[in-house]
Amino acid sequence: MERKEFIKSLTIGLLAPTLFLAACSDDKNKDNKKASQKTTTYTCPMHPQVVQDKMGTCPVCGMDLVPFEKNSAEAALHLDENQRALANVTTMAVGLTGFNTYKQLNGRLVVNPEKTEYISSRVSGRLERLYVRQTGKKINKGQALYQIYSEQLASLQQEYLLSLEQAAQFPEDKTFAQLLTSSRQKLSLYGQSEGAIKALQNSKKTSPNVIFRAPENGTVAELTVTEGQYVSEGTPLMRLEGYQSLWVEADLYPTEAASIKDGQQVKVVIPGWEDQPQLVTVKFINPALQANTQLTQLRAAIPNPNNQWQPGLQANVFVPTESKGDVINLPIAAVIRNEKGAHVWVEKEKDKFEPQVVKTGIETFDTIEIKKGLKAGDQVVISGAYLLYSEYILKKGKDPMESAKL
């Protein structure tokens, strides 16, 4: 009996340390489990300042909270192909190129007077018919504009037919040949086209009702007569404006005009068509100030082949002010800036993006110089950078500037 008690006591003594270590290990595992559970933190997708250690809803907007990696030490974001396409993330390899800065001037599109045609009556007579009765109508070259009743034109037609017969009867007589040339020139000077003269020659019939046609393509901007009205020679009838080429006029101060020369190239951007910047050449700088202002005007011709722009549209004119060679520059949307500085996103590996602090230099409305932080060949995100910035804050719970270095 005593032997059994002795063996029992010995067994308990040997197992006690093992049981104690096991109990301690269980407690430690429980503590680690609790600690690991505490690392899961939740935030609001719309309000990152809301942070909780348990699931719930945002007290600001009521959205469900989502988990984020508060204690993650990795500075990179990983996106698969679908996420990349959804966020419209695109990159470009940066390099050393020339860079120009611009001064922006406020301008407008106006009618180009060189493309304006003033239609006036070539002869006295009565407007029997107007083929165009409203402004804004587009006219093609050769299209009938109006028909006029003119005895004067009928007499000139008869004179031409008579000269034609005389020249045919006496082909070797230079006098009749000169009379034929003279009568033909009279018809041409009074607005008769070569086709109309040819038709008269073939028909051998005169008519006091003569149709006049458009000399060029254009749009009717002004109509000053009505059908049935009697007009004299030189009476203005209508004005045609061609919009295939316009003028851009920009306001500038006399001190600014001193730095701009005739023949200099400037960039023109029409609001709404920012993807179609135009390089135009300065044709004229007004030497006089506009009435009641301290401004003068810069003028340049801008092509408008599809008539997509109309006179009166606002235009932004960018005049080069500074030029640099062999610098790194990026689209301005690629740079994220806050109170801590500026950074960009660089694709270090396939679909792996890391923030990179940069030092910026001069900038224009769409481009910015990178003075430090990047090197030629870096793959930099040029679209979707702000979405990467937001995703980083949402997932990591901290500013990318904290882990990025210059």
Q: Indicate if 396 and 247 belong to the same structural domain.
A: no
Q: What's the domain range around 213?
A: 116-241
Q: Indicate if 303 and 374 belong to the same structural domain.
A: no
The pLDDT assigned to 6 comes to 46
Of all helices (H) and strands (E), which one includes residue 257? helix 254-257
CATH of the domain at 126: 2.40.50.100
CATH of the domain at 379: 2.40.420.20
Instruction: State which of 279, 295, 321 marks the end of a domain.
Output: 321
* Count of domains forming the chain: 4
**Strand 66-68's sheet: what is its strand order?**
51-52, 41-43, 66-68
Report d(CA 94, CA 96) in Å as an integer.
7
Instruction: State which of 293, 321, 349 marks the end of a domain.
Output: 321
The pLDDT assigned to 307 comes to 86
Q: Confirm whether 133 is domain-assigned.
A: yes
Q: Indicate if 125 and 235 belong to the same structural domain.
A: yes
The pLDDT assigned to 191 comes to 81
One-character DSSP codes across 85-145: HHTT-EEEE--EEEEEEEEEEEEEEEE-GGGEEEEE-SS-EEEEEES--STT-EE-TT-EE
The pLDDT assigned to 14 comes to 47
The pLDDT assigned to 91 comes to 92
Report d(CA 80, CA 197) in Å as an integer.
75
The pLDDT assigned to 299 comes to 92
- Given the structure tokens 């000169």, which residue do they identify? 178
SS3 at position 396? helix
Q: Confirm whether 22 is domain-assigned.
A: no
Q: Indicate if 225 and 252 belong to the same structural domain.
A: no
Ranges of the chain with pLDDT below 70: 1-39, 45-46, 48, 68-73, 397, 403-406
Q: Confirm whether 130 is domain-assigned.
A: yes
Instruction: State which of 298, 321, 344 marks the end of a domain.
Output: 321
The pLDDT assigned to 48 comes to 67
